[in-house]
Chains A and B, each alone.
Chain A
Amino acid sequence: MNFNEHVGKSLLAVYGIPVPVGEVVETVQDAVAAAAKIGPVVVKAQVPIGKRGKSGGVRVADTSEEAKIASDSILGMAIGENIVKQLLIEEKKPIDREFYAAILTDATSKGPMVLFSPYGGVDVESVEGEKESPMKSINVDIRQGLSSVSVLKMLAELDLGGIEKEIADIILKLYEAYLAVDAELLEINPLGLCGKQLVALDCKFTMDDSSAKRQKELATQCSPEQLTDLEKKAKLLGLNYIELDGDVGVLANGAGLTMTTMDVVRNYGGKPCNFLEIGGEAYIKSKEALTFVLKNRKIKSLVINFCGAFARTDVMTEGIINAIDELRPDLPIFWSVHGTGDKEATKMLKKRLGVEPLSTMDAACKAAVVAASKY
């Protein structure tokens, strides 16, 4: 779950990390009014991806006239897949030095990780790749917490001009915020030294999706995922659907099996037109699932691949057969059914649709690829 800069910054402020004075606006008029109030400003596109500056989404405006020109050019521009609808109008700070600080969830150590670099800014990742990386890190045991001793020890290895304590203070506050908001990543880049004060000049915040249930209020402020209309509708029904640009429909149970079905389709020279899994508790939603797969206009053939473990293949198959009865899709469908309930499912397919599942997943995928090419 991704958040725009201004949401991240307001969180930082709550935890005592200084951020520039700023206002979020959605029109040029409001942008100009904010700039008139604040003085020289930076006009920043609010989209949840990096490299906004390189895309022209961040511009300095010293006067109201410049703020007008800047906001007019940034509002509505496309950055990556995002269209800019919001701007952050923020006081322009004189920057003496830039640092990088972040807390993230590290899969290798299975705990939080602190990252700090004495060089912040847009190319921090590429600096990291150089021979001697200036990036320092600490692996934190989440039950022990992060101690100021360990942070100061890390910072002592760097030449920071005597503001180690101040930086450590920011890092400890950042860690506190990371825990409180169930972040996956909470990053300040750059952390600017503005005169004597350290200020978070940008903030990237990603929340752990599984925590949305207990971060309800915050979760409502996340920037919406870039979903197609079909993907949005499927999501509302609790279905995991991703639209792709091929022509072979894929319907399977479980994330691993669904991904694999796509892979096998591709392995035989075909192109999947969707990812749709009905694993976990969603396995009873076969009918809704089929409806979504068929709504994709590019679809020319369909492979249905069930392998029952937790999910029962007979329950899923019955759901699909009912959906086929109702929707009467006019395209070739190929089945592969194995695991829990496969005998009953096979019997049902013969009786109600007069078809037999193919003996293997490979055979079903191959047949679907051939059928799509002839369609």
Chain B
Amino acid sequence: MIEEQYYDSDLHKASPPSSTSCYLQSTQSVLDLATTSNNKMVAEPRSAITTHRSVEVLASKLRRRQIVGSRATALETLLVLRQVISKARFSNLEQLVAIIRDAGRRLVDAQPKEHSVGNTVRKVLHHIREEVHAATRGNEPAKPTSFSISKFVLQGQPRKQVVLQKSEVKGTLRENDPDDPDSFARGLKPVLMEAIQDVLDELETVYDNISKNAKDHIHSDEIVLTLGVSKTVEQFLKSAAHVRNYSVIVAETAPSYDGRQMAESLSSFGISTFLVPDSSIFALMSRVNKVILGAHVILANGGMFAISGSLMAATAARAHSTPVVVCAGQFKVTPLWNLYHEYGALDFGNPSDVLGFENGDLVDKVDVVNPYYDYVQPELIVAYITNDGDHPPSSIYRLLKETYDDEDNDL
């Protein structure tokens, strides 16, 4: 009753001439009004709508490409998921997983080419399962002891992450408690928040962890070639520059010419930097010691999608037997395969960057293409440097097994 009065007064503030005859209807409209104005006083039942809204907001931002960059999207996704979980009502694990998956699916559908969204959801799900298992089963041994070669790959989680034991909830959690359906959620939520915080911390320290070993990869007087602009590669090179004196050749990477930005940033840091057009990569490759690339998505087979131009640089490096090293956060590792559309970039940029309207007479007659990504085969890559250690492309599948649960591969 108090609530109703509150709405009533709110209603009159919002639209004073409303009549009593349409009371019910207008209360409903006020409900919407209250949620849109993000009113903190809204009570429990409306929270589902609010979280829903934050998912929608992120989805539309993704759709409009207002958020770009894998790490930014991963962070945003994580924050939304945290909101979703904190507001969610569930009495068993399946319900919770269904809620998260539903939110995840919406976000993935909004921008299917930004794989870090799905990866973050998968990772959160994985963490949640771990926490729940730890909390409900206590310290009962989870692993069967029988090993066989056929099971080795399936169960192979040789470097399982250490699960922090949350002692306060151990053993007290029960799913589907008929007396108190919220008890499961109440008991689990603090643990879940901590789990999400872990993922968040990992994302926030991703650059530091990747560039931690930079000095082992770059030696004095080396010449390193890179292209495009990648925050990860930038941090990696800068971190190596603290201890090593080396040179970087940055390819401009048409048509965005992002390489210029990269070159500026590196040279202002004091690294000797050369900016070259894409066309001269092959000519200079014979003097390059190492090619360091950024990735957009790392696929399960060890291949990757990266900014267009990467495939040519990697192939030229292979022709000169120059090692190609990829720096990427672990959140870019995706349980996807690219077997059938090997050459399709599947994402296209603005053609006016390639052939602008200043060539007006040409524009009508000519097809102009500006693919965004290249698929780089695993054979061309020597190693992935991630925040979870260095991996050859052939062991990316193992990293996947460790990071995500198999049932989440298809959200």
Binding partners A and B: no
List B residues at the A interface (Cβ < 8 Å). none
List A residues at the B interface (Cβ < 8 Å). none
